[in-house]
Amino acid sequence: MSFWSFLGRLAISDEGETIQRISETTSVSSNGTTYTTMGNNTFGSDGSSFIQTGNFSSDGSTRLGSTATGLGAVFNKRDDEWPRTSRSGLSFDDDDF
């Protein structure tokens, strides 16, 4: 089982893998896997799937603050740790005027 740390929209494992959050529902791994989240379910393009319940995931991993004990818990996102695209500080929409 790998351990993950979160830096904004980027998750980094102790094994060197990274996952970049592209949108509210899509994340891409450095190994080429694309993950799509729908509700409490996350599906990987490699055939993997995870169900999130609170801080826990169906693969037995858990998330606490800015760390996770396994891949499934990486998708247990909180708004303050995985910023929304429109409020990331890198872009704005016309409602900000």
Q: How far apart are CA 64 and CA 69, in angstroms?
A: 9
- The torsion angle over the Cα atoms of residues 55, 53, 40 and 80, rounded to 10 degrees, is -20
Q: What is the mean pLDDT of residues 1-22?
A: 93
Q: What tokens appear for 87 in the block?
A: 């409020």
Domain residue ranges in the chain:
4-77
33-52 pLDDT per residue, tens: 999 999 999 999 999 999 99
The label of the residue with tokens 């826990």 reads 56
pLDDT classification of 65: cutoffs 50, 70, 90 = confident
Q: How far apart are CA 38 and CA 43, in angstroms?
A: 8
Report pLDDT for 78. 58
pLDDT classification of 77: cutoffs 50, 70, 90 = low
What is the reported pTM?
0.76
